Amino acid sequence: MKIYRMVLAGYEDYLRAPGVAGRWNSSGKMVLYASQSRSLSCLENIVHRSTEGLLRNFFILVIEVPDTIHIETLEVESMHAGWHLPFNYQPCQLIGDEWINSNRSCLLKVPSAIIHQEFNFLINVKHQDFQRIRSIEKEKFLFDSRLRLQ
C-alpha cells in the first residue's frame, strides 16, 4: 500500500517523527502522520499552516507499506461527538497515546477530521515493523496560487 506525507523542504530524505503534539498524539510521542492520498495530505497542511507557511517549499513523500504489516483501524462511528472540531485534541490524543504505548501495530488508520470518509495513518516509529516501511519517492510540491487561503 502507498500512503503520502507532506514535508517541508529539508526533511524529504528520511522519515523522522518530530515528537510534537498533534490531533492523535501528545507531545513527546514519536509518530508520523500520512494520508491515503496526496490531495488529503495537501488539505491537512492547508488547515494546519498559516498562509505564509504555505509559501514555503514542500515535498510529498510516497511511502510504501508492505501488505504484511498489520494496520489497526479506528472507525469514525466509535468516536465521541465533536472529536473532529478544531483544537478538540485531548480525546483523540488519549486514543492515539494509548495505541502508541501499547505497541500493538505499526500503523493506525484514523478518520480525517476534514473529510470523515477519508483516512490518515499514524506510523509508530518505535514499532519493530517501522524498519520495513520505506519512502520510495519524493515529489516537489507547490500549493497552487489559485487556492484561496484565508
pLDDT in tens, 87-121: 789 999 999 999 999 999 999 999 999 998 999 99
CA distance 33 to 71: 14
Q: Transcribe the chain into DSSP letters.
A: -EEEEEEETTSTTS-------BTTB-TT--EEEEESSHHHHHHHHHHHS-TGGGGS-EEEEEEE--TTS-EEE--GGGSPTTTTSTT--HHHHHHHHHHHHHT--SEEEEE-SSSTTSEEEEEETTSGGGGG-EEEEEEEE---TTS---
Q: By C-alpha distance, which of 132, 136, 135 is closest to 71?
A: 132
* pLDDT reported for residue 86: 84
pTM: 0.92
Please state whether 103 falls in left (phi above 0), alpha (psi between -120 and 50) or beta. Answer: left
pLDDT category of residue 148 using cuts at 50, 70 and 90: low
Enumerate the domain spans of the chain.
2-141
pLDDT category of residue 54 using cuts at 50, 70 and 90: confident
Distances (CA, A) of 112 to 12, 68, 117, 125, 144: 23, 24, 7, 21, 22
* pLDDT reported for residue 52: 65
* pLDDT reported for residue 129: 98
